[in-house]
Amino acid sequence: MALKSNGLILESFWKQVDRIFGCRIISKAGASSLAKQNSSPENRLQLGVLESPQNFETLTVLDSQGCEKTKEKEIGLVSSNECKKHLSSSIENLTNVEETADASCIATTEVAKREDILSGDAVAESSPLECFLSERDNSQGEILPILDNQSCDTEIEFFVKWVGKSHIHNQWLKESDLKIRAKRKLDNYKFKHGSIPVNLVDEQWCRPQRFIARRQGCLDVPEVLVKWYGLPYDECTWERLDEPVIKAHQELIEKYDYFENAALKIDEEMSDEDQKCGDIRTLNEQPDYIKGGSLFPHQIEALNWLRKSWGRKRNVILADEMGLGKTISASAFMCSLYQEFKVSTPSLVLVPLSTMPNWMAEFSLWAPQVNVVEYHGSAKARATIRQYEWHATGNKLDRRSYKFNVLLTTYEMILADSSQLRSVPWEVLVVDEGHRLKNTESKLVQLLNTFSFSHRVLLTGTPLQNNVGEMHNLLKFLQLDAFPSQDAFEEKCSSLNT
């Protein structure tokens, strides 16, 4: 087993293989030097983001006159798209050299008809044959090598993620070692992907998105619990503060401390009295707490209207046409609540799952001071959110305040976790695609009516082409006391044209 210079174990049998995320072919001569390079954090990062060091292998090939010669070939990781590009050119080259190639280099004369071909760059007609062929047995699903490994002097390595470790700690393991550690996972990977050189790790999986907890780790070294871009909360991992990736994101540590202290401050200042905002002044220009760019005049008008409607406790529908920036207007409204009016209770924003990344991007751009948490994923991921994102870790006894300002979630999560979400005293409910609530008999509407909301806002980009009954249902969801009877509403508004 290999050890790092500081005595920490780099590779040992106590590590368990989680998943396999790639494959590469290297020369045996360069394997030992690559193992040393992979031990440094910098190279582990580089190998984890679709970039591999340049490697060379020595091949014995035939020249145009049938004589043996050696040639160094540069090899590295290629994407699946690049493999497809090389496939057609490789078949064409194989057809040209099939008549002169030696039997020791080609296992069959019908190799050009095989589907699974792994080759280097395209070569001219007079260039030598440089390829590695494999085929999938239809009955067993195994990858069978066609070219003798001894003639190529190469070996296959697989990119492995360890259980409980993030992708920045991924390592390359030889196939022989992986057969001992996780043979079934190796067989499953080869059945699905074969032995084509590829790296399946997304670059963003190695970028920290936010830190959600801190602790003193082994040897009293401080650690942070990291939420990674593109990965759910159940794949958060504890990382040492001296890790290069963590040291490069000091702003995330500062933001974590800011949100923690803000929650603790609310606990100290919170009173049982209802908040009194008084008269809300009209904004004639964009306030300083809204970052990210300049709002359009109609967005500032929408912001003023939302602020004053909240102050008057009047629930509303923001029904701008699509493309006019309702998401930005809503983000600016949320920022106004927590920066201008210092609201202490959180808000709930319901959006379709497909639009959640866009909502997060707009919040990060226009309202970076607002603590927005994405609430979705598996049951384990949601439990992690409630454990680390719900309350400040410094307050163990009296947790009246919530650390997050905005909980961004989907309609499905309301149905799945209504018991946990119902207990939160919500300040504002914002529903994107609000026309989905036009059916009062739906379970979603019935559950939302059991929640405690001080204010409700519906966003819709769809023209209000509903019939009078559906319009009544939307207004009844907003103001139950004002629209109790559908018959009375239809009689009063029967002359409306929709």
pLDDT tops 50 at residue 384: yes
> Are the beta carbons of 368 and 251 closer than 8 angstroms?
no
With a CB cutoff of 8 Å and minimum separation 6, the contacts of 498 are: 464, 465, 466, 467, 468, 471
> Are the beta carbons of 407 and 428 closer than 8 angstroms?
no
Predicted confidence at residue 400, as pLDDT, reads 66
pLDDT tops 70 at residue 363: yes
Average pLDDT score over residue span 212-233 = 92
With a CB cutoff of 8 Å and minimum separation 6, the contacts of 390 are: 399, 402, 403, 404
- Dmax (CA) for the chain in angstroms is 97
> Are the beta carbons of 77 and 200 closer than 8 angstroms?
no
pLDDT tops 70 at residue 461: yes
Type and span of the H or E element at 307:
helix 297-311
pLDDT tops 90 at residue 154: no
| Helix, strand, coil content of the chain in percent (nearest 5) | 40, 20, 40
Predicted confidence at residue 251, as pLDDT, reads 94
pLDDT tops 90 at residue 149: no
Rounded to two decimals, what is the model's pTM? 0.71
Q: Which of 129-143, 333-347, 389-403, 467-481 has the lowest mean pLDDT?
A: 129-143
323 band by pLDDT with thresholds 50, 70 and 90 = confident
Most confident of 126-130, 270-274, 417-421: 417-421
Q: DSSP 3-state assignment of 231?
A: coil
- Please state, in angstroms and rounded to a whole number, the distance separating the CA atoms of residues 74 and 50: 17
Higher pLDDT, 48 or 372: 372
Predicted confidence at residue 74, as pLDDT, reads 40
Mean pLDDT of the chain: 75
For residue range 39-63, what is the model confidence (pLDDT) as tens digits? 444 444 444 333 333 333 444 444 5
Most confident of 10-14, 109-113, 245-249, 430-434: 245-249
pLDDT tops 50 at residue 68: no
pLDDT tops 80 at residue 108: no
Average pLDDT score over residue span 122-126 = 38
Average pLDDT score over residue span 158-176 = 94
Count of beta carbons in the 10 Å neighbourhood of residue 325: 16
> Are the beta carbons of 363 and 332 closer than 8 angstroms?
no
Higher pLDDT, 267 or 248: 248
Per-residue burial over 81-102, b = 16 or more CB atoms within 10 Å of its CB, e = otherwise = eebeebeeebbebbebbeeebe
